[in-house]
Amino acid sequence: MAKIDAAYAGSTLLDLTKTFYPLGKSPGIDAVFYLVSQEVFSKPGANVTLCIDRVTTPEEEGDSKAPPYAAEVTKAEQDLVAAIAQVANAALDLTQTWVDFLGGTETTAAQTAAANLQGALTSFHDLSGVPQVSTTFNALIAALYGISGTVNPNVTAVSSDTGNDASALTSAFQSLTSLTAISAAGVVGVNPPVLSPPQLLWEYYNGSDWQTLAGPTSDAAANLMASGEISFTVPQDISTFMINGAASLGIRARLASGSYNVLMLVSWTDPTTGNVNYIPVIQPRPPALADIAIGYVWRSAWSAPQQSLSWNDFVVESHTPTPSTPVANYMPYHPVADTLPALYLGFNAPLPNDYISIFFDIVESDTDGPPLVWEAWSAGTWQTPTASDDTGALARSGIVAFLDPGVPARPSVNVASASGWSVTATGALAAAVFSVGDTIVIQPAQAAGW
C-alpha cells in the first residue's frame, strides 16, 4: 500500500483517519475531490488501484427504512378507488334515468353495458381492477351517447333526478382527474420520480489543462456510490498542480453530471378545495468514505548498471562497460583456480608440547569425503604430523587428533618459589634461561610429568 500525502474536498483538507466526505456535505455540480501521492503519481506508466470503503450515512439509512414517496400510498389508493366507483355509479344512475324516460328498444345497448359495469364494480376493491372497470365504463358512456338525442350532463330539463345524476357524474369526473396519482403510482408499480444519478470524471493535470483519466461511467465505485476498486494507469504527461498554495502531484474526481441529491414529495390537502397538492423537496445525500487506500505496480525503464563486478577465487573483476570497452558477455561465476583446496586452521598462541584434539561439528553425509592430508607448518615448511581422523575426511562430526612434529621443546627449570608476579629461580644459571618479556608457566612438578 502506497502513501497518500493528502486529500481535499475542494480546498478543505480532509482527515483520512476517520469517516470523511470526499466531495463535501452538499456537493453541487463541479464539486471536486483531490487525492495527492508523490510516491504513486511520480511514476508514469504505473498501474494503480484505488480502493474505497463507502459507508451508509444516517440520512441514507433513513431513506431505506421510510421512503417518503410511499407515505401517502395507502390513502391515495383509497381515494382513487372511491373516485372511480363514484363515476361508475353515477353513470349507472344516469342510464337508469334514460331507461325510465325512453323505454323501448332504444336503451337496450345501454342496459347491457350497465349490467357489465355493475358486474365489474362488484369485484372492484383495489387498483388492480381499474382496466376492467374502465373498459365497461367507457362502453356504457358510448351507449348513452348512442341513444337518440344527445346525452349532455349539463342538461337538467329531463327531470330533476337526471339533473342530479349529471351533476354527480361531473363531480366524479372532476374528482378522478384531479388525482394526479403520484403517490398512488407506487401501488401499481410505477417508480417515483428521481433525479439523475451522479457521474464523476477522474482527471489529472498535464501542466496546462485537466485531462480525463477515467469516466464518466455507470460503475458505482467509480462514482463513490459503493465500495470497490478503481483502476487506471498513471499518464506519461502528468504534472504538478497548485492547491492551497502547495505544488502537488495527484488526481481529482469532479462531479460532471447528475447529483448526490434525493427528491422528496411532500403532500398536503387544501382545506378549502379538498385538493391534494405535492411540493418537491431536494435533500443532499453526499457520499461518505470510511477508508481509502492506493497501491500500484511499476516497472522502471531498462538502464545499464553503474558498476558490474564479479568476485571469484578471492579476485574482483570489473565488467563495467566503458567508451573503449563495450558491453560483452561474461561468466559471472567460474571455478577456483586451486584444484587442491585446503582448510587452514590458525591459532593465537603456540601449541602445547602434547597430543592435540580438535572437534569438528559437521552436517553429516552418508559417505566419506575425499582423502585428506593433514599438515602442520613447522620450521618454515609444511610437515606431515601423526594424525588420527574419525570424521571420515570431514564427512561427519568427530575429532581429529595430532602431535605437532616441529614444535621445539620449551625450556624448563626448577624454581624455588612463585607468588603473584614474583618468581625465584634456584640459581643464576636457571634464571638465565629466560629473557625479559617471556611468558612463564608455573606447574607443579607432578603436573609437568616429573
Q: What does the pLDDT look like over 322-357, one tens digit per residue?
A: 766 776 788 888 887 777 788 888 888 877 777 889
312 and 285, same structural domain?
A: no
CB 35 within 8 A of CB 4: yes
Last residue of a domain, one of 186, 217, 247: 186
Is residue 281 domain-resident? yes
Joined together, the cell numbers standing for residue 299 give 516497472
CA separation (Å) from 44 to 102, 209, 304, 339, 355?
A: 92, 17, 20, 52, 71
Residue numbers of the domain that contains 440: 411-450
Residue 330: predicted pLDDT: 81
Residue 20: predicted pLDDT: 94
Instruction: Name the pLDDT band for 193 (thresholds 50, 70, 90).
Output: low
Is residue 108 domain-resident? yes
Tally of structural domains, the chain: 5
134 and 234, same structural domain?
A: no
54 and 26, same structural domain?
A: yes
77 and 63, same structural domain?
A: no
What angle (nearest 5°) sits at the alpha carbon of residue 155, between those of residues 154 and 160? Answer: 110
Distance CA 108, CA 114 (A): 10
239 and 264, same structural domain?
A: yes
pLDDT in tens, 259-284: 888 877 666 667 776 666 667 778 88
402 bridge partner residues: 356, 387
Is residue 446 domain-resident? yes
Joined together, the cell numbers standing for residue 436 give 625479559
318 and 173, same structural domain?
A: no
CA separation (Å) from 360 to 357, 391, 449?
A: 10, 8, 29
Is residue 350 domain-resident? no
Residue 153: predicted pLDDT: 45
CB 32 within 8 A of CB 252: yes
pLDDT of 26 over the 90 cut:
no
Mean pLDDT of 313-328: 78
154 and 130, same structural domain?
A: yes
Is residue 349 domain-resident? no
362 and 284, same structural domain?
A: no
176 and 314, same structural domain?
A: no
pLDDT in tens, 363-407: 988 888 888 999 888 778 888 888 889 999 999 999 999 887 765
